[in-house]
Homo-oligomer: A and B are copies of this chain.
Amino acid sequence: MHKGLERVSYLLGTWRGEGKGRYPTIDDFAYGEEVKFWHDGRPLLFYAQRTWNLETDGPMHSETGFWRPQRDGSIEIVLAHTFGCVEIQEGTVEGNRIGTKSKGVVSTSSAKDVVALARHYSVDGDTLSYELEMQFDDNELQNHLSGTLTRQS
């Protein structure tokens, strides 16, 4: 493993669990979720996430991209989303906690305009917890998703 990855090596593996979503514009919802982090020797993590409907097992959301820990203790995340959005997150790694805010979000012409996103991850052994905040349309940045995943491998 590249030395530059050691600080976030606790993310590596396949994680599975469930999450819950909420937002003023929609009904509350729940979902199954799988997250994978892996590397190829470079100082960055490959990331792929997918969620599914807990009743039908049908796919809901997917996002994929790269996590780039920096030498100064900061981290950059570059992501693409199935619903037609890309985002750049920047923030910090503090031990087992990672917190980032969007530097830029761009949506496709057919997609809804997400204004900003913030992400909070923490790992405790084989448990990964996260919160995602979203600013959408005229709504303030606020909690949209939260989930708890268990490391499978």
Contact = CB atoms under 8 A, between A and B. Distances in A.
A109 interface: yes
A133 interface: no
B78 A85 contact: yes
Nearest to A111: B76
Contact of A88 (B58, B65, B88, B108): B108
Interface of A: prevailing SS: strand
A44 interface: yes
B82 A107 contact: no
B86 A104 contact: yes
A109 B82 contact: no
Nearest to A102: B106
Interface of A: 40-42, 44, 46, 48, 50, 58-59, 62, 64-66, 68, 70, 76, 78-82, 84-88, 90, 103-104, 106-111
Given A40-B59, A64-B64, A78-B80, 5 more contacts: A46-B64, A65-B65, A65-B80, A80-B80, A103-B108
